[in-house]
Chain A
């Protein structure tokens, strides 16, 4: 219907509501930097609005504190569907260095569901634009988890009594996994 046709215009005009639930304002300043002429993010159609009811994207920074968690939840519920939540900065992604202090519950994903994370302390304006471009589908994701396993357990052990030699090469009769 009309809605399906209009849905593809959603990504070309995102209105952002910036919400700070207890951060140090470092990421605030970087977000406002993104709106300056050098890193101009308005060319993607993104506008900063003052009210959560006008917004599509909630840009959260700062961890969820004990006093601000209910306010954060109410602001999230005030944003009309369809909505996205971005967690900007290390505090919003995982609690930051304040994760075990007396007034912080944790990262904001304990209170509201998060769709995109932009780690950094504070993230560079380019990193924020990269996160936004990732959400819009303009670039590809670069972060991949790294795992290093030198040896896979369980290790194969060899019993000396099961070795016999054939043509000068050792042959193992029984391979047991421990």
Chain B
């Protein structure tokens, strides 16, 4: 019973943390981008105001299937928040006793497919183009994080979340070649997971008018934007959980602050790369991911062989 209460308490805390801090991180991203571009950008709380403004807009429902539109809008935020419940943020993962890493991989893929559903439900030509590009990118990108989690599970010899997280990407005794290789792969792919600049070929682009999200307005768009901000938070948290050894001082608050500081550094690097690069075309993107996929398979092979 005590485990259940603690799990419930920490899961609520995790959810509140993601919901409150994700727009702040997005605001900091916009401000840093503005500083790099030598201008005064929007205030840091601008993302909160954007979300609040979207809630009072009229909800226009046109397209092939309004029911599916509603479902995909809710699914996008719900899937990301479910992933947030499985990642340690300061404390150990709240639902670690009730789930394992296979569920984590499934939920991550589900969060990625919500954009595909969104594009299909809208049905306009721009949405379909955006959706097909996202599908191409996702097919070569999602396996990377799955391989990283499975490799950590191989090293820890168990699929339990407590064992997989906490820097288990590197085995203990000798030079962890596979660990370093997979760290490099995921570091280069982090920009793509969070959907920022060189790789944001599907969302937020003026070429195909925001792609799959084109036909959504008002509260549904607020859900999609919130899901995108939460995705940044959750993927950086996942990166830290997989590769950075956990420092626990025993107090929840200091652990949390250390965790947020690590995330802020990672987010700063992501933002700076995003501000200084141009967008890749879809064929360049797929080629990039395929090279990373081959390297990741190589890392998995090395891990299985014991290195």
Interface residues of A (CB under 8 A from B): 2-3, 6-7, 9-10, 12-13, 15, 36-38, 40, 42-45, 47-51, 53-54, 56, 78, 80-82
Choose one: A6, A36, A80; the contact of B217 (CB below 8 Å).
Answer: A80
Are A82 and B46 interface neighbours, CB within 8 A? no
Are A53 and B215 interface neighbours, CB within 8 A? yes
Q: Which among B41, B42, B214, B221 has the greatest number of chain A C-beta atoms within 10 A?
A: B42
Are A37 and B39 interface neighbours, CB within 8 A? yes
Name 19 extra pairs, CB < 8 A, besides A6-B53, A42-B39, A51-B215. A9-B52, A15-B50, A37-B37, A37-B39, A40-B34, A40-B39, A45-B42, A45-B50, A47-B50, A49-B210, A50-B206, A51-B209, A51-B210, A51-B213, A53-B215, A54-B213, A54-B217, A80-B58, A82-B58
User: Smallest distance from the beta carbon of B202 to chain A beta carbons, Å?
Assistant: 13
Cβ-based interface call for B293 (8 A): no
Give the complex CA separation of A6 and B48 in angstroms: 11
9 pairs of A and B residues whose beta carbons are closest in the complex: A37-B39, A50-B209, A80-B58, A81-B58, A53-B217, A40-B39, A80-B217, A13-B49, A51-B214
User: Smallest distance from the beta carbon of A83 to chain B beta carbons, Å?
Assistant: 9
Give the complex CA separation of A139 and B216 in angstroms: 33
Cβ-based interface call for B171 (8 A): no
Choose one: A3, A45, A48, A51; the contact of B46 (CB below 8 Å).
Answer: A45
Q: Take A45-B46, A54-B210, A78-B60 as given contacts and tell me if A10 and B53 are in contact as well, using a CB distance cutoff of 8 Å.
A: yes
Give the complex CA separation of A56 and B55 in angstroms: 12
Taking CB atoms, residues of chain A closer than 8 Å to B213 are 51, 54
Cβ-based interface call for B59 (8 A): yes
- Closest partner residue, chain A, to B216 (CB atom): A53
Taking CB atoms, residues of chain B closer than 8 Å to A36 are 39
Are A82 and B52 interface neighbours, CB within 8 A? no
Cβ-based interface call for B283 (8 A): no
Bitwise, B198-237 to A at CB < 8 A (1) or not (0) is 0000000110111001111110010000000000000000
Give the complex CA separation of A90 and B261 in angstroms: 52
Bitwise, B25-44 to A at CB < 8 A (1) or not (0) is 00000000010011111110
Cβ-based interface call for B57 (8 A): yes
Taking CB atoms, residues of chain A closer than 8 Å to B42 are 42-45
User: Smallest distance from the beta carbon of B130 to chain A beta carbons, Å?
Assistant: 11
Give the complex CA separation of A2 and B53 in angstroms: 11
Taking CB atoms, residues of chain A closer than 8 Å to B40 are 40, 43
User: Smallest distance from the beta carbon of A126 to chain B beta carbons, Å?
Assistant: 16
Are A7 and B38 interface neighbours, CB within 8 A? no
Choose one: A9, A42, A53; the contact of B41 (CB below 8 Å).
Answer: A42
Cβ-based interface call for B56 (8 A): yes
Taking CB atoms, residues of chain A closer than 8 Å to B217 are 53-54, 80
Give the complex CA separation of A50 and B205 in angstroms: 8
- Closest partner residue, chain A, to B214 (CB atom): A51
Taking CB atoms, residues of chain B closer than 8 Å to A45 are 42-43, 46, 49-50
Are A7 and B206 interface neighbours, CB within 8 A? no
Give the complex CA separation of A51 and B207 in angstroms: 11
- Closest partner residue, chain B, to A81 (CB atom): B58
Taking CB atoms, residues of chain B closer than 8 Å to A44 are 42
Give the complex CA separation of A48 and B42 in angstroms: 13
Taking CB atoms, residues of chain B closer than 8 Å to A78 are 60
Taking CB atoms, residues of chain A closer than 8 Å to B208 are 50
A sample of 16 cross-chain residue pairs with beta-carbon separation below 8 angstroms, ordered by A number, consists of A9-B49, A9-B52, A13-B49, A15-B50, A37-B37, A38-B39, A40-B41, A43-B41, A45-B42, A51-B210, A53-B215, A54-B210, A56-B53, A56-B57, A81-B57, A82-B56
Are B49 and A80 interface neighbours, CB within 8 A? no
Taking CB atoms, residues of chain B closer than 8 Å to A9 are 49, 52-53
Give the complex CA separation of A39 and B214 in angstroms: 28
User: Smallest distance from the beta carbon of A142 to chain B beta carbons, Å?
Assistant: 25
User: Smallest distance from the beta carbon of B222 to chain A beta carbons, Å?
Assistant: 11
Give the complex CA separation of A49 and B46 in angstroms: 16
Give the complex CA separation of A43 and B39 in angstroms: 9
Give the complex CA separation of A50 and B217 in angstroms: 13
User: Smallest distance from the beta carbon of B69 to chain A beta carbons, Å?
Assistant: 12
Are B39 and A6 interface neighbours, CB within 8 A? no
Choose one: A3, A42, A53; the contact of B56 (CB below 8 Å).
Answer: A3
